[in-house]
Amino acid sequence: MKKLFTTLSNIWKIEDLRARILFTLMCLLVYRIGSFVVLPGVNAETLNSQTNKEGLLGLLNMFAGGSFSRASIFALGVMPYISASIVVQLLSIAVPSFQKMQKEGESGRKKINQITRYLTIIITVLQSVAYIRSQISPDARILPEPLFTITSMFVLTAGTLFVMWLGEKITDKGIGNGISLIIMVGIIAQLPSGIIQEFDSRMGGQGGLIPFILEIAVLFLVVMFTILIVQGVRKIPVQYAKKIVGSKQYGGVRQYIPLKVNAAGVMPIIFAQAIMFIPATIGSFFPGAQSPFLTSFSDYTSLTYNISFALMIIVFTFFYTAITVNPVQMADDMKKNGGFVPGVKPGKTTGDYVDAVISKITLPGAIALAIIAILPSLAIILGVNSQFAHFFGGTSLLILVGVVLDTLQQIESHLLMRHYDGLMKTGRIKGRTPLPAGGSVI
């Protein structure tokens, strides 16, 4: 406890760090206030009685911090920006012109960010129209058509762009990755009500206090398991050649290449969920195309959904790891710097060795990621209410763990840079693979 108070005191003493934290909190407060501002021309009371907060829509509502179900001006949140960032990231891998921009340094990064913003506008306009059609019934609309659709489309688009701007400002002048923090705050905002609902249901005849305590204990274990997966690394020893110049020795030290067990981060789940949303989207636009098979893909507690979801996560984990981790480049860099893996020849042999190690650790990492992803569905099947069940795994838990670790790592860096003790006695906090937004990367 004394260590905690000392650390908090040290954080407050550093003027720059204090200003960054206060600026971040202020921006997040603005976002939370905006999430309660309802779209102009919407009858909030009628809307609340008609809103569906279950299934995939409940998941979208969680990422938007409840704004989705309230028809807020921030109803779409930063998800269009995340989608645009993913598209641009994939184009940077497949399209030569985007690859060229990536190699142009700061100017290239600015061009890519500008393209991402323009694509965000296009995606937001399309999603806003779909949102208005599917989520706001004619009974909840005060303004006549087409005035309501046009004004709501402009407001939703402006709201998403404002949230995107807030995230970028947090990244520049605050602490942590702004887009990731906004998503995290939206998710955490649903936790208190989820716990209260689960407690009330258990005490109201659904098992009593003991099952509720067991659920909290299981949630704690799942969080610990998720932290292990996010933090887990396989260290490959690298020895650097010794060189003596005059009376001084250079090199000759042994270092390590840390290969993450889950190098793909949360991206495989995001890709897989984007594909799983397709049947529901088809059903909303073409009701006549619905079938029991397509309906099972829209029910995320069904066996069909969970098996397909888990398999896609495993496939996307290997795919994303393959395109982001380049063993050949790592081997070439080691060779240029006079480094080698003990017992392995430099060059192609080293590249093959690193590739084999990555393949071995990616499989258990992918399976663990798939298990984490389907845990919320299993929790709902076992009787946990849907809002609380989302915290037992999936994208929400991975984002929470990753963003918290990343933010604490940045705070610790500020402390160590000014010769204060870090946040932990046992070693430095490790960050995570960020989201694909704001130049980082949901």
In this structure, are 120 and 233 located in the same domain? Answer: no
Same domain as 203, residue 58: no
Evaluate whether residue 425 is within a structural domain.
no
Under DSSP, the state recorded for 42 is B
pLDDT tens digits, one per residue of 311-336: 988 988 888 888 778 888 888 888 88
Question: Are 221 and 244 members of one domain?
Answer: yes
Do 161 and 276 belong together in one domain?
no
104 and 201 co-located in one domain: no
Residue 43 lies in a domain: yes
Q: Are residues 240 and 96 in the same domain?
A: no
Same structural domain, 28 and 162: yes
Whether the Cβ atoms of residue 176 and residue 403 lie closer than 8 Å to each other: yes
CATH number reported for the structural domain that contains residue 244 in this entry: 1.10.3370.10
Contact 98, 92 (CB under 8 A): yes
Residue 211's φ and ψ, nearest 5 degrees, are: -60, -35
Q: What is the mean pLDDT of the chain?
A: 79
258 and 375 housed in the same domain: yes
pTM here?
0.77
Q: What is the mean pLDDT of residues 240-249?
A: 63
Of 178, 209, 237, the residue that ends a domain is: 178
In a domain, 428, yes or no: no
On whether the CB atoms of residues 359 and 345 are closer than 8 A, the answer is no
Smallest CA-to-CA distance from 207 within 384, 330, 346 is with: 384
What lies within 8 Å, CB to CB, of 300 at 6+ separation is 55, 56, 59, 276, 306, 309, 376, 377
**Residue 31 falls inside a structural domain:** yes
| Distance, CA of 384 to CA of 378 (rounded, Å) | 9
List the beta bridge partners of residue 340: 239
Whether residue 198 is found in the same domain as residue 149? no
Cα(321)–Cα(355) distance, integer angstroms: 11
In terms of pLDDT, which residue wins out, 72 or 66? 72
Paired strand residues for 251: 242
Question: Would residue 305 count as lying in a domain?
Answer: yes
Tell me the C-alpha distance between 140 and 150, whole Å. Answer: 16
Q: Using H for helix, E for strand and C for coil, what is the string for 243-272? A: EEECCEEEECCEEEEEEECCCCCCHHHHHH
The answer to whether residues 254 and 344 belong to one domain is: yes
What pLDDT score was predicted for residue 438?
44
Question: How do beta strands 233-240 and 248-251 pair?
Answer: unpaired
Point out the domain boundary residue: 178, 211, 237: 178
Residues 163 and 279 in one domain: no
> pLDDT band at residue 25, thresholds of 50, 70 and 90?
very high
**Residue-range definition of the domain harbouring residue 49:** 16-178
Q: pLDDT band at 234, cuts 50/70/90?
A: confident
Q: What is the dihedral of CA 191, 197, 202, 206, to 10 degrees?
A: -120
Domain count, the chain: 2
Question: Residue 246's pLDDT is what?
Answer: 60
**Looking at residue 35, what DSSP letter applies?**
T
Q: 């960054």: which residue's tokens? A: 20
Q: Is position 216 within any domain?
A: yes
Cα 275–chain centre separation? 17
Residue 29 has pLDDT above 90, yes or no: yes
Task: Establish if 29 belongs to a structural domain.
Answer: yes
Q: What is the dihedral of CA 417, 419, 423, 427, to 10 degrees?
A: 90
Residue 406 covered by a domain: no
Q: Are residues 210 and 147 in the same domain?
A: no
